[in-house]
Amino acid sequence: MKRMFLLAVLALGLVLGSACGARTNSQGDSPNEELIVIGMSQVGAESDWRVANSESMKAVFSEENGYRLLFNDARQKQENQITAIRRFIQQQVDYIVLMPISESGWDSVLQEAKEASIPVILVDRMADVEDESLYAAHIGSDFLREGTLAVNWMESGFRERGETLGIIHIQGTLGSTAQLGRTAALEAAIETHGHWELLAQLDGDFTQAKAYEVMTDYLSGVPGQRRIDVVYCENDNIAFGALQALEEQGYRCGREGVNIITFDATRGALAECLNGKISLVVECNPLLGPLVEEAIQTMEAGGTPEKHRYVEEQAFTQEDLTEALIACREY
């Protein structure tokens, strides 16, 4: 309501040719009161992707752009996200932006937001809620498609291979949409390719430290050197941890050795792909701030944003990359 009044005042100001800046009103209130207030619950800072995603949000939802951003870092705990959302509801923010750590467990808190008439925008991962009206829009990646890009590359790269293809799979945070989609693509392909063998499935929790630890533990338990053809890493930081562990144990990584596959396409991973140590990088775009703003502006104008919006993404191998291309990337 307050915003409707503001828009009316603003429109009047424009008609009268007044010099008023956007979102100030004629009553002498502090301009800050006229900012659109966004309560944002971010998963954490577990990966380079996540840091780039937070930066994209902070760059868009700035005071100069007409927003007041209440940013909460949940330090990878769903209970922290739920507490933050309840606080945003008490503070009567205009919108809640939620990057859900995992898919389940959101029904009641999102119901509370709905009862308070605060639209919720899901970003990056999804929330698996029974009632779709509990969120206004979802903006993120199609993780199953990303996994399928990786699997297609494996299928064509190892087509001629008669012998067993030994695969290690290091997963991201269990129960998150990114993990579920990327895992589903690999598991479905393993089912259909009789000679693809899953040597191990490890939990890397999307962090470099965890991936390094689980990969080191695994390799230390293998007598001598085992033939490993592919390490399917569910994000770049997992790939960095796995690469370090493999090299420390004397494995050679690259097309002639262990083929590391990764997701995100941060500059660090693309550089390792260009130098030949990572074989395939599947892009996952974290720069979602402008799309979230579009959805909010659609609602501000009384419209309905698209319910699900997926960003375009591609896959890179060494041949696709140059130093100049990597330098141009924003993350």
Give the interface with ligand GYE as residue ranges (CB under 6 A). 46-47, 49-50, 124-125, 141, 178, 206, 235, 263-264, 284
Shortest Cβ distance from residue 182 to ligand GYE (Å)?
8
Amino acid at 254: G
Over 5-68, what HEC string results? HHHHHHHHHHHCCCCCCCCCCCCCCCHHHHCEEEEEEECCCCCHHHHHHHHHHHHHCCCCCCEE
| Cβ proximity of 257 and 223 under 8 Å | no
Cα–Cα distance, 204 to 210 (Å, whole number): 5
Shortest Cβ distance from residue 112 to ligand GYE (Å)?
24
Q: How many CB atoms lie within 10 A of CB 250?
A: 8
* Residue placing its CB nearer to ligand GYE in the complex, 24 or 47: 47
Nearest to 197 by CA among 169, 173, 233, 218: 169
* Residue placing its CB nearer to ligand GYE in the complex, 34 or 264: 264
| Cβ proximity of 136 and 165 under 8 Å | no
Shortest Cβ distance from residue 53 to ligand GYE (Å)?
8
Alpha carbon distances (Å) from 54 to 75, 166, 217, 223, 326 = 13, 36, 32, 43, 21
* Residue placing its CB nearer to ligand GYE in the complex, 24 or 173: 173
Shortest Cβ distance from residue 198 to ligand GYE (Å)?
21
Cα–Cα distance, 263 to 168 (Å, whole number): 15
* Residue placing its CB nearer to ligand GYE in the complex, 251 or 331: 331
Shortest Cβ distance from residue 108 to ligand GYE (Å)?
23
Nearest to 282 by CA among 176, 198, 205, 185: 185
Cα–Cα distance, 76 to 273 (Å, whole number): 28
* Residue placing its CB nearer to ligand GYE in the complex, 49 or 153: 49
Shortest Cβ distance from residue 293 to ligand GYE (Å)?
19
* Residue placing its CB nearer to ligand GYE in the complex, 74 or 165: 74
Q: Helix, strand, or coil here: 166?
A: strand
* Residue placing its CB nearer to ligand GYE in the complex, 41 or 235: 235
Nearest to 126 by CA among 97, 145, 109, 101: 101
Shortest Cβ distance from residue 176 to ligand GYE (Å)?
6
